[in-house]
């Protein structure tokens, strides 16, 4: 059977409808988060001086690092396991027993990620003392670290919602959270409050975002009994996924953190402003890859031919969009930066152009890594992220003292290219004939 024939046979009937519906909700959630991130940073850049913007960038960089790490990278694993248990409950003669197992699994994951949030909050506070001498940065980081604690529980809730096909709930919570996270900080910035107070508002809103999920899962909470076997199962899966998400987060935030250590707050501010345009990419790709990941897992169980065709199709659209963005960036970057953030950031265009190039390998890494998880090869993603962190840190150490924010962006590009090369080559061999086919 040819690749085109497989595409026609399997794609329309088995994958597209569910993926499309869930993807639309995830796109809405991502769009709301994007609007919050970009608009808030624009307002902050225009209302405060560059030095304070630099301190804010460092704090948010640390938060982004531990925000990702506290989930231990378990989202793909949780979605897979919860989906499998839902199917087992449907097919089992003893559905009630299977439902209890599902509740115990979700409860065990919640316990693990709750304690992960506490540990990450403490680590985030300590890290601030190493990356900055500013007490404003240190105090603000301490305050914002409390927002990490409910984040692990929200991760479990989102995994359960995706597995149940209730991405509309995620969209509702995301809309609620981001509206509050925009309106309240706007008022605080306008009234002249310090960034520590702005961070406190983020904490309050993050805690409030947990309550709709708790309400939706109230019957699960009543059924939960601590199950050692489920707890151990999750713990056994944790090291590989936790290692991967930790390295990925370090890689993504290393440039901002090392800028604070090796350069000035002004260079940190420049990179922070330019990197705002990567936020839409990362949010949308995270939603996109989460939606296609359960479908990938089903294709892997059938055949690698199906997997290759589906993965090629899912790669096509983001890669074409990324290439177009990288091509357009040099022509528009200066005007966009000046229009959104003011004339002070016009020189940041070089940094933005380099980061625009980063989007191409980043798309490849995000989607191919889901293929690695689906084929049981997540250790390659771990290896690629370890290589990426090493390359990024070394290149940052070399380039930041000379080129500042542009050097940090170049280090990020080099890191992502290495990761994309390793993951794509391995998966190509794993699927034997996997390749990106624009005409497929």
Examine the pLDDT at 10 and tell me if it is beyond 70: no
Percent of the chain at pLDDT > 70 equals 84
Q: What is the pLDDT of residue 26?
A: 62
Give the dihedral sign, CA 309/311/317/319.
Answer: negative
Examine the pLDDT at 16 and tell me if it is beyond 60: no
Q: What is the pLDDT of residue 438?
A: 42
Q: What is the pLDDT of residue 394?
A: 94
End-to-end Cα distance, the chain: 14
Interval 304-332 mean pLDDT = 85
Interval 283-303 mean pLDDT = 73
Per-residue pLDDT band for 432 (boundaries 50, 70, 90) equals low
Q: What is the pLDDT of residue 297?
A: 67
Q: What is the pLDDT of residue 182?
A: 82
Examine the pLDDT at 291 and tell me if it is beyond 90: no
Examine the pLDDT at 395 and tell me if it is beyond 90: yes
Q: What is the pLDDT of residue 34?
A: 62
Q: What is the pLDDT of residue 2?
A: 39
Examine the pLDDT at 218 and tell me if it is beyond 70: yes
Per-residue pLDDT band for 261 (boundaries 50, 70, 90) equals confident
Interval 381-386 mean pLDDT = 89
Examine the pLDDT at 1 and tell me if it is beyond 60: no
Q: What share of the chain is helix, strand, coil (3-state, %, to 5)?
A: 90, 0, 10
Per-residue pLDDT band for 276 (boundaries 50, 70, 90) equals confident
Per-residue pLDDT band for 36 (boundaries 50, 70, 90) equals low
Range name among 88-92, 105-109, 400-404, 408-412 with the lowest pLDDT average: 88-92
Per-residue pLDDT band for 24 (boundaries 50, 70, 90) equals low
Spatial CB neighbours of 380, under 8 Å, sequence gap ≥ 6: 372, 422, 423, 426, 427
Per-residue pLDDT band for 7 (boundaries 50, 70, 90) equals very low
User: Does an H or E element contain 346, and which?
Assistant: none
Highest mean pLDDT of the ranges 24-38, 66-80, 321-335 = 321-335
Tell me the C-alpha distance between 166 and 160, whole Å: 8
- pLDDT higher for 29 or 263? 263
In the structure encoding, which two tokens stand for residue 82, read together? 């919860």
Range name among 7-16, 213-222, 246-255 with the lowest pLDDT average: 7-16
318-329 residue pLDDT tens = 889 889 989 998
Q: How far is CA 283 from CA 29, 104, 174, 175, 183, in A?
A: 9, 30, 12, 14, 21
Average pLDDT of the chain, as a whole number: 80
Interval 80-99 mean pLDDT = 70
Q: What is the pLDDT of residue 360?
A: 93
- pLDDT higher for 136 or 97? 136
Q: Which of 27, 284, 370, 40 is nearest to 170 (CA)?
A: 27
Examine the pLDDT at 120 and tell me if it is beyond 90: yes
350-361 residue pLDDT tens = 999 999 999 999
CA atoms within 13 A on the CB side of 275: 25
Interval 283-311 mean pLDDT = 74
Tell me the C-alpha distance between 367 and 277, whole Å: 19
């Amino acid at each position: 059977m040819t690749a085109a024939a497989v595409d026609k046979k399997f794609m329309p009937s088995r994958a597209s409808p569910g993926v499309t519906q869930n993807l639309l909700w995830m796109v809405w959630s991502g769009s709301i988060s994007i609007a919050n991130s970009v608009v808030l940073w624009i307002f902050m850049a225009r209302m405060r001086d560059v030095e304070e913007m630099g301190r804010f960038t460092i704090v948010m960089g640390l938060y982004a690092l531990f925000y990702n790490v506290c989930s231990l990278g378990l989202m793909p694993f949780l979605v897979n396991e919860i989906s499998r248990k839902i199917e087992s409950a449907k097919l089992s003669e003893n559905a009630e027993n299977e439902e209890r197992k599902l509740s115990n699994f979700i409860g065990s994951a919640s316990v693990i990620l709750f304690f992960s949030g506490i540990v990450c909050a403490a680590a985030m506070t300590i890290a601030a003392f190493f990356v900055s001498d500013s007490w404003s940065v240190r105090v603000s980081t301490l305050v914002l670290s409390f927002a990490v604690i409910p984040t692990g529980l929200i991760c479990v809730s989102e995994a359960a919602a995706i597995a149940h096909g209730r991405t509309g709930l995620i969209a509702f919570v995301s809309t609620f959270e981001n509206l509050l996270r925009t309106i309240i900080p706007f008022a605080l910035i306008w009234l002249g409050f310090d960034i520590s107070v702005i961070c406190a508002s983020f904490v309050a809103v993050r805690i409030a975002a947990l309550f709709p999920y708790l309400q939706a899962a109230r019957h699960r909470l009543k059924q939960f009994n601590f199950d050692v076997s489920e707890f151990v199962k999750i713990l056994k899966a944790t090291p590989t996924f936790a290692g991967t998400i930790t390295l990925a987060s370090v890689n993504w935030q290393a440039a901002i953190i090392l800028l604070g250590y090796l350069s000035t707050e002004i260079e940190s501010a420049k990179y922070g402003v330019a990197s705002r345009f990567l936020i839409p990419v990362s949010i949308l790709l995270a939603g996109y890859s989460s939606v296609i990941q359960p479908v990938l897992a089903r294709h892997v169980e059938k055949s690698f031919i199906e997997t290759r065709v589906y993965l090629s199709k899912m790669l096509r659209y983001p890669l074409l969009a990324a290439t177009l963005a990288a091509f357009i960036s040099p022509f528009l970057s200066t005007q966009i930066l000046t229009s959104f953030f003011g004339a002070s950031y016009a020189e940041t265009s070089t940094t933005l152009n380099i980061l625009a190039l980063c989007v191409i390998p980043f798309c490849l890494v995000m989607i191919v890594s889901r293929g690695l998880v689906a084929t049981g090869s997540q250790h390659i993603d771990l290896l690629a992220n370890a290589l990426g962190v090493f390359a990024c840190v070394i290149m940052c150490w070399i380039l930041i003292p000379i080129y500042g924010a542009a050097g940090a962006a170049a280090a990020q590009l080099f890191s992502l290219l290495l990761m994309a090369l390793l993951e794509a080559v391995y998966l190509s061999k794993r699927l034997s004939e996997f390749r990106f086919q624009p005409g497929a």
